[in-house]
A = this chain, B = another copy of it.
Amino acid sequence: MMVDDGQLDRSFAALADPVRRAMIARLSRGPATVNELADPFPITKQAVSRHIQVLEAAGLITRTRDGQRRPCHLVPAALEALTSWIDEYRLETERRFRRMEALLKEQES
């Protein structure tokens, strides 16, 4: 899975906001419009509309057309790109820890 640096910037920045994370959670249960996404929050729909644009620019969601509505859809592959990036370094670190543990145990004996 290849993502350019800018996409990582935008994706992580997109998730660094509780409102957008709540939208992600909501969208995991199915598509939703601006109005539906705005409902739980005490902010204007314009603000929600821009949150959606941020998520879309990050590639985390796509939008379709349904009459006047512009439903949002989560893109699981984009989420997977993030976990891949993180896991690469987490797994390397864990491997290193295990190697060090093994070395310490050898020293003891």
Copies in the complex: 2
CA A87 to CA B16, docked complex, whole Å = 16
Q: Which stretch (A5-13, A43-51, A62-70) binds chain B? A: A5-13
Q: How many residues of A contact B (CB 8 A)?
A: 33
A contact face: mostly helix, strand, loop, or mixed: helix
Q: Which of A5, A17, A21 has the most CB of B within 10 A?
A: A21
Q: Which residues of B contact A40 (CB under 8 A)?
A: none
Q: Which residues of B contact A27 (CB under 8 A)?
A: 89, 93
Q: How far is the CB of A77 from chain B (nearest CB, A)?
A: 9
A86 interface residue per 8 A CB criterion = yes
What are 24 A-to-B residue pairs whose CB atoms are below 8 Å? A8-B15, A9-B16, A12-B13, A12-B16, A13-B13, A13-B16, A25-B89, A27-B93, A28-B89, A28-B92, A28-B93, A28-B96, A29-B92, A29-B96, A76-B90, A76-B94, A76-B97, A79-B90, A79-B93, A82-B86, A83-B83, A83-B86, A83-B87, A83-B90
